[in-house]
Chains A and B, each alone.
Chain A
């Protein structure tokens, strides 16, 4: 009989091996699913994970997709380490895009050195506003942030739909649910001319490194870690829980708002009803795959960005439905959380009714 027994300590090996195992299991399981759908497993996994990178601008596309995932994943790993379960970054992303984008629409003639920085600030503030409301509800009314942050994700999505189909709809847009294009001055600066490679791609890893330093080396980061591991000890040390909840929600919300603003100014150039292909939820997977470590979030963000590209490729080349991206990501999160049982436990084969000697 297979038994799970406690190790009594956390395995260092499995700390790093468990995400790798989860990835392998995800590959195997999705291969099986593809086979059940009548597609050769090997080819599909290849189409999904490798082919997109062999495209001409494969790495560019990957970086563009990874940037928002990394920014949000970093904010989430910080919040989760402090036991603040923000799962509504999709909403914070959207509100950031709305606030920044609204500014671009309101001042189409403003010069670039004024309008873009102002939009960045507005985007961050929009995300913070959304995150701050969640923090306030938790502190003031003891409302569970898992529920409230998720609810806000829906509210902001409907706000976006209302705006782009109503007051902000482009009068010259033939009735399409979208706003006018932003002026060129309101677009994110490019790192490479005539591509989508915008400054967010540079910012994302810098933010990750900065927040890693904050979490591991600073007093504030220490406070987050203590709060996450032992609330009473945090109180004994004099760390104020409410203040930390505020900061965690403002940082993770603000980063999501920034990601949203960069997404609309970096790739879309206008507001539409679907700004995020579930980035906010994918960022949760990114945070866990990165072991809630901001540096780990960088490769994790790249990997999940790849699943978006792979999903597109599978749709175009193999005629698979778009839902495969979500399925793949869901399987990955499932195995990630599941494999973590190996951190504190091990599996052992014991002959049934072993009473006497081993």
Chain B
């Protein structure tokens, strides 16, 4: 029975089971990936998708189940073993060394010195060929999430895998980057590399994938051909609920007072390869949602840090929150005057992964929620606050005592957005509000943001997801090369007009291409 059968499916998994403390993440799951196939793995947040692919990649040991790879029954020992079998994986959360360069990071993932010969040229060639521009000498610390992802993809492609697993690869890419990636993936599939593709973006799945396995609560619920279903149908199989578009919201009255005003905000990026912010002037009224579109690495994280107070502005007046000059205030003081912030990176920035949810709720909530009494943490109130976030935002977890890192990516995102929204801010700034959350949760987050705006808050959304910006924002600006364009009313804008603005300016992506060419 162990004879190689090269014509059969590439990968067959049956009865895969994985029990975590308090959570059956995979419950007798089956999965079959054919050769040359782009196969989607769908399911709501916490359905067990990442767990299943981590089993394939040898990161997680299953409790039960059988894996047949290329006609052979195998027990995958560790990622090295998986790589030798021809399995590559791009993780939902990257594992890069911040202090090392792109090339050094890639070299570390390779087994032998032999593989490193001519590495630099291969990185440049592959990244260029597949539309994933990368400068091998840049330090990872200074790269945006989107750029970091390119490293992971290129790292896998260098190993000529037979199966490429991608856990939510496009959540941080722009439409044009996604289109380029799809060209790459289709070509890979045609060249004989199957792709296992996890995504919450069902449009993309319909366009790209020829088969889909759908999971819910750790179990298989269906196997479908995505093109034969509508997005709505797919979503409803996934989350077993009725999806509706968020109800449109009236525009804020023009008489509403400005709540967040940026006046010629100019900031040198603290990172060597970061993007400096240049002369950013914006004004947000209460009740308004402003969307900031743009390609990763054009100053989004600097803008976020300048607004949250992690980087201080040169002049106090360049950031005004509710009429108070806040440019010299740190995050804590800005929260006190009703500002709240959700950074892009969840792990180690928005949340301390090794701490509990209660402690993470305390992290940014203690000021506004008055969780400190005489310098001592009010554990009861903190725990109640965390409990409330979990309840209101439907975070799937065992409770406030769970460590942040035990949550699935989307569930942690819901928790972090919920933590800020429930503090009832007057000004809310979110970078990538729905990164990695499923359709149902994205809707819930969108509705929460809209309700907040309707209650009179000014909300700024920094997102690379144009669909999201068009759904949420009243006005749209584009950030490119550290400059922000004059906002336009969403109803006067088109995806094309915004896309043109995004491409313009001196985006690092563009310079990267020039260097390589």
A240: shortest Cβ distance to chain B, in Å? 7
Complex alpha-carbon distance, A10 and B405, angstroms: 12
Q: Is the CB of A232 within 8 A of B349?
A: yes
Q: Is the CB of A218 within 8 A of B375?
A: yes
Complex interface: chain A residues within 8 A of B331 (CB)? 235-238
Is A37 in contact with chain B by the CB < 8 A criterion?
no
Complex interface: chain B residues within 8 A of A225 (CB)? 355
Complex interface: chain B residues within 8 A of A356 (CB)? 2, 72-75
Complex interface: chain A residues within 8 A of B220 (CB)? none
Q: Is the CB of B350 within 8 A of A219?
A: no
Q: Is the CB of A218 within 8 A of B359?
A: no
Range, interface on chain A: 20 to 34
Q: Is the CB of B59 within 8 A of A8?
A: yes
Complex alpha-carbon distance, A220 and B74, angstroms: 51
Most buried by B among A8, A220, A238, A356: A238
Of the listed stretches B27-35, B195-203, B362-370, chain A binds: B362-370
Look across to chain A and name the residue whose beta carbon is closest to the beta carbon of B304. Answer: A236
Q: Is the CB of B332 within 8 A of A233?
A: no
Q: Is the CB of B362 within 8 A of A222?
A: yes
Complex alpha-carbon distance, A357 and B72, angstroms: 10
Is B354 in contact with chain A by the CB < 8 A criterion?
yes
Interface string of A194-236 (1 = CB under 8 A from B): 0000000000000000000000011110100110011011011
Is B233 in contact with chain A by the CB < 8 A criterion?
no
Query: Which of A218, A236, A355 is in CB contact (< 8 Å) with B350?
Result: A236
Look across to chain A and name the residue whose beta carbon is closest to the beta carbon of B349. Answer: A232
Contact flag A219-B78 (CB < 8 Å), given A236-B310, A237-B332 = no
Contact flag A217-B376 (CB < 8 Å), given A233-B351, A236-B364 = yes
B493: shortest Cβ distance to chain A, in Å? 32
Interface string of A337-358 (1 = CB under 8 A from B): 0000000000000100011111
Complex alpha-carbon distance, A10 and B78, angstroms: 18
Contact flag A8-B377 (CB < 8 Å), given A219-B366, A230-B352, A237-B363 = no
A142: shortest Cβ distance to chain B, in Å? 14
Contact flag A218-B363 (CB < 8 Å), given A236-B350, A237-B331, A350-B77 = no
Is B60 in contact with chain A by the CB < 8 A criterion?
yes
Contact flag A233-B75 (CB < 8 Å), given A219-B376, A238-B330 = no
B424: shortest Cβ distance to chain A, in Å? 18
What is the interface of chain A, defined by CB distance below 8 A to chain B? 5, 8, 10, 217-220, 222, 225-226, 229-230, 232-233, 235-240, 350, 354-358
Besides A225-B355, A229-B354, A238-B333, 12 new A-B residue pairs in contact (Cβ under 8 A), listed by A number: A5-B78, A222-B377, A230-B348, A232-B349, A233-B349, A233-B363, A237-B363, A238-B331, A238-B332, A238-B335, A238-B367, A357-B75
Report the 4 A-B pairs with minimum CB-CB distance, sorted nearest first: A238-B332, A238-B331, A230-B348, A232-B349
